[in-house]
Amino acid sequence: MITHPSFAVEPWCLRETELNLDVLAQSESVFALSNGHIGWRGNLDEGEPHGLPGAYLNGVYEQHPLPYAEAGYGYPESGQTMINVTDGKVIRLLVDDHPFDLRYGRLVAHERVLDFRSGVLSRTARWTSPGGRTVRITSRRLVSFTQRAVAAVVYEIEPVDGPVTVALQSELVANEQLPRIHGDPRVAEAIGSPLVPEERYAEDTRLRLVHRTERSALRVAAAADHLIDGPAGSRWTVQCETDVSRLTVTADLVPGQPLKLVKFVAYGWSGERSLPAVRDQVDAAVAAAVGTGFDGLLAAQVSYLDRFWACADVEVEGDAQIQQAVRFALFHVLQAAARGENRAIPAKGLTGTGYDGHSFWDTESFVLPVLTFTAPEAVASALRWRHRTLPAARQRARQLGLSGAVFPWRTIDGPECSAYWPAGTAAFHVNADIAMAAVRYVMASGDEDFERGEGLDLLVDTARLWRSLGHHDADGVFHIDGVTGPDEYSAIARDNLYTNLMARQNLIAAADVAARHPVRAAELGVDDEESAVWRDAAARMAVPYNASLGVHEQSAGFTTFQRWDFEATPPENYPLLLHYPYFDLYRKQVVKQADVVLAMMECPDVFTDEDKARNFAYYDALTVRDSSLSACCQAVLAAETGHLRLAYAYLAEAALMDLDDLEHNTRDGLHIASLAGTWIALVAGFGGLRRYAGGDGEPGLLAFAPRLPEALSRVAFTVLVRGRRLKVDIDASRARYRLVAGEPLVVLHHGEPVTVTSRAPVERPMPPSPVLAEPQQPAGRRPVGLVGEEGDGAAAPE
């Protein structure tokens, strides 16, 4: 979309200079506003035309039965789907009885701007009605980071060429008509009209609706209040129906005399609290917002984002698109998580209903690493949500005959929602992803209370899972059989390398943390014998390796499979899962998304430099990137192994996944993990950020191995670690480390210890990159940044 002529490339905003209905649904996703609790898609103020109307509350969903042709033991019975809750952003306009609808009349000018520094979506339009009158419309919209339950809109209308009579209809709308849903009709039934009315209210300038979901039994309330600024004689009335509560303002306007409406909306929901309690909650929240005023909300919003950008900004020189893309990415990652407050971070955030609003392992493996070093309080919140779902995970483990906990592949509120067990039940690596996210958070934050409490709970239950899932063979080697790793084109495999290495880290971390907190560990039933069993399993963990090829195997025997015939696969047959049976994919050497490559990124100390170079070249030639999670991982290892041009191309693919709508499904919501991957590719890729193990009981801290591709002249970023704020500034010849705040810090620069203080920056030269032949990719699957060099088609991941 960033290459669409309607969109400009600017460093601190996303600007749409004219309205194009052909990208309306995509623009609703990229212009979405959220704070992790409330999500408003970037729909036009008047509600229509739209691609997908959307107002969401994190954790609000409806249940529906999961379809099975044949029942099986352990299959999840119910799915969960995020629903469109009461829409509070709708403000309809009539000009001399003509509805303001951009499909009629003449749109003279239209611009929308999403400002990353203020968190405001602004809109200006000039429209000539079918009756011949031209009006100017402006609006500003925000979802508050500081008042979690609140969103607000300022809407203004002014005539340009003569007097007009206008009517504004500000609404709360439940059960909006959605585009027709194809597929399982039971899902469509669940989300088509999911809200059952309980209460409606409209008086003076105040509106309220209370509903509940029928199957999930969640109560949802929305309230609105308004400030009206118009000429003398302006009038307003209110009315309410079952699913609509409406304020109508009418006024006679002349040029130079606008009508301004400020709308404050508050949301609340609960699965336990009474109707009066939820109702009173939203009434109080909207009253507080009115008291603060829009200007007050905006000032607090700017202050909040100033603090975020001081810790999170990535400066890029040499590529204006990447500069805009990384700030766009960071803004949306923050929006997905900032005020989630012990709720999940969905794969699409709160920007659309893609993936049914589910959370996956994407959160812990891609989103949380970014937030760990930029907004760590959001990481603690997301991990506390996982901790809250431990009872469901323990129950799932018992159902599967295992110990500890089995966390779900996809869910909203804890239970497994995947009806496809090879990718769902068998993808046990999510356990280790969660455990190591907790370890990473404690390492970077120093939050010992979390480690002693929720962190130890998570580590113990996940370690117990691995010990019960795996087994020692006759030679004492520990194997984990029948699992699916990150690459979903290989399932039910033996000794998936990523799973085994992450499980090994999980087992060791659980034993270490239990040793640091023996009293708490004893409360969980952990004794010296159990810790020793964990350490033994870790020490004897199978690590598949093909000595004749000199590469690690994605899983035992993987390198002996027949290679996929990439030359005979036409471009239109990607993604492969939509055109070939899984049976065929599972028995061939073809990789949907980085698997061994991700293992090398997450467990770097296991591999030598030579291992990494050989492994990367081998698996890059097999990886088709039918997943948006792949490109950023490949960027990181391409950079580490010296393939900087290739790394830059993979960075571009991750960065432009939604801005260029590479998957052709941005209309369903943004790919939050791929957005996070933009930061990962820049900071872990070209910045070389890794963790290293500390000595003498010191926790692991940070290592950097920076190198830049020729296309970029400078990259600078800041990371938060244990109360310090460290800025890293890289150009082609040197890296500069500067401690902005905090006590002195020791980091590694290409393996050399460097002590950084606040007194003066420390500079170190950049060693030369290794010179290796650039790896090849499957025919037709070169990364977007290299397409055209050999006539290959662009990748179109899932």
Task: Rounding to the nearest 10 degrees, give the CA dihedral for residues 521, 526, 532, 535.
Answer: -60
98-105, long-range: CB < 8 A, 24+ apart: 98/129, 98/130, 98/131, 99/46, 100/46, 100/127, 100/129, 100/135, 100/137, 101/46, 101/48, 101/49, 102/19, 102/21, 102/44, 102/49, 102/127, 103/21, 103/49, 104/130, 105/129, 105/130
Helix ranges, 180-238 (H): 185-192
Identify the active-site residue in 171, 416, 488, 640: 488
Q: CA 146: distance to chain centroid? A: 20
What count of other Cβ atoms lies within 10 Å of the Cβ of residue 156?
18
Q: Can you give 733-746 as a three-state secondary structure string? A: CEEEEEEEECCCEE
Cβ contact 650:785 at 8 Å: yes
- The dihedral region occupied by 663, where left means phi > 0, alpha psi between -120 and 50, and beta the remainder, is alpha
**Residue whose token pair is 């060693």:** 767
Phi/psi at 578 (5° precision): -90, -5
- Please name which of 493, 489, 491 lies closest in space to residue 479, comparing C-alpha atoms: 493
User: How buried is residue 568: exposed, middle or buried, by Cβ count under 10 Å (0-12/13-18/19+)?
Assistant: exposed
Angle at which helix 528-539 crosses helix 456-469, to 10 degrees, equals: 60
- The answer to whether 488 is a known catalytic residue is yes
Q: Half-sphere exposure (CA, 13 Å, Cβ side) for 162?
A: 8
* The two structure tokens encoding residue 329: 């990415």
Beta bridge partners of 159: 135
**Spatial separation of the C-alpha atoms in residues 369 and 312, rounded to whole Å:** 12
- Please name which of 110, 156, 107, 154 lies closest in space to residue 134, comparing C-alpha atoms: 107
How many helices (H) and strands (E) in the chain?
A: 20, 35
**Spatial separation of the C-alpha atoms in residues 745 and 738, rounded to whole Å:** 10
Beta-carbon contacts of residue 125 (< 8 Å; ≥ 6 apart): 102, 107, 109, 110, 111, 136, 137, 138
Cβ contact 186:199 at 8 Å: no
**Residue whose token pair is 């040793």:** 515
Q: CA 486: distance to chain centroid? A: 17
**Spatial separation of the C-alpha atoms in residues 702 and 777, rounded to whole Å:** 32
User: How buried is residue 611: exposed, middle or buried, by Cβ count under 10 Å (0-12/13-18/19+)?
Assistant: middle
Q: What angle do CA 379, 382, 383 make, to 5 degrees?
A: 85
Q: In this structure, is the dihedral angle defined by the CA atoms of residues 536, 538, 542 and 546, taken in order, positive or negative?
A: negative
Catalytic positions, written as ranges: 488
